[in-house]
Structure 1
């Protein structure tokens, strides 16, 4: 069963059996379904955590923050994140998730340009749905990303993929080009089902999917089935002389509030 994004941050407080100290206070936890970058930050009686559900291809991914405070599930907005030194400014979308304790759980999507800036930084300041800006030490996250990519190669192999035959979809050619909210399965909408489906596509020499496998379920059969059906029908990639290539893709389905 997939560990939810909020649970990623919660589990960061307790090192797992498969845990490596990547760089100082950064850690990389791994399971048969995912690799997680995490660290604790801040001070005070209530602990704050940052966790990343790392892509097995890039070692980066969505950030989830677990911080003191309250956020209404389903609310969203634009955050302002500043990396120091350098002053790079990012404006990603944040999305509030359910938390089982007194902390707010905030998911933040960061693109590859943002991750490149963060990998070279020491401190990340985040302004968003918080009473005051958050300051997160990020020095050494580049080493954590490298450790997550090593973890990812093990995951890809366990799923039946060749880690050296992966197509990187972290740029413009990603799932957003093929799936939109209008594709939301009616049954899932009626039931208020949301979640992230992680799939592995097998790509033929012409750049078309010949197979789709759900490697981590959203726990919604209709979301899982719809994801593979649409991606198999619509996804296209550059042709290659290679007989078989692979694409790992997480697809996030969110019910609009």
Structure 2
């Protein structure tokens, strides 16, 4: 088994990967489960997806969207991965502090590649709950819905000191133009963040992974 991370600009919204060099980890294509850090027994509910990789191995991606989980990971000695059905897997971890720091460095590099200053992020590297209020089911583009199109749009918006949106742009396409365009249209229409405090940048950035699903 190979244990690793898939970096994301939101450290409270990352992926933990498990790759098997021999046989399937699980037969199901997706499901729910738990990630448990030991010895502190910090538990986190998760969703996961599995499937074959391009090199013939099989992998599972676990969603890790709890900041406290990432903060506790460097102190863990083992991690237990539980599926709603199937045999749990317990892995012994080596020193994790440098690995977690490396993931964060990689995430910052990705942000800079997109023209984002990591030190001027709204909410830092945590997920911002108010973004969900900018989107609802009635916003789904009609043509995309008729065609059964789904996807995840990765967008970056900029805001002034008052919290008003300046601009929005797609940095990684969903592959569906209607979903890409609608994402930034809604951000420009409804986007608003708390005003900047003392010492904060005049222009701030917000990274948003927006999932469109029917």
Instruction: Report the TM-score, using the length of structure 1 for normalisation.
Output: 0.67
User: Are the counterparts in 2 of residues 60 and 145 from structure 1 also a CA contact under 8 Å?
Assistant: no
Choose which of 67, 70, 95 in structure 1 pairs with 2:27. 70
**1:206 to 1:218, Cα distance in 2 relative to 1, 3 A:** same
Shift of 1:85: 1.1
On the 8 A contact 2:159/2:205 being kept in 1, the answer is yes
**Cross-structure match for 1:200:** 156
Which residue does 2:143 correspond to in 1?
187
Other-structure match for 2:213: 254
TM-superposed deviation, 1:149: 2.2
CA distance in 2, matches of 1:51, 1:193: 31
> Aligned to 1:199, what secondary structure does the other structure show?
strand
Matches within 5 A, 1:48-59: 49-56=2-9, 58=11
CA 1:71–1:211: 2 relative to 1, 3 Å: same
What are the superposed Cα offsets for residues 179-218 of structure 1, whole Å, 9 maximum, x if unpaired? 3444333333333333322111111111122111111111
Structure 2 segments unaligned to the other structure (5+ residues): none
Unaligned stretches of 5+ residues in structure 1: 1-40, 42-48
For 2:40, the equivalent position in structure 1 comes to: 86
> Conserved in 2, the CA contact under 8 Å of 1:56 and 1:148?
no
- Alpha-carbon spacing, 1:237–1:119, altered in 2? closer, same or farther (3 Å): farther
Distance 1:150 1:108, change over 3 A: closer
Distance 1:50 1:223 in 2: 33
Q: CA RMSD in A?
A: 2.8
Equivalent residue, structure 1, for 2:115:
160
Instruction: Supply the distance in 2 between the matched residues of 1:138 and 1:229 (Cα, whole angstroms).
Output: 44
Q: Which has the larger radius of gyration?
A: 2
Aligned residues: 204
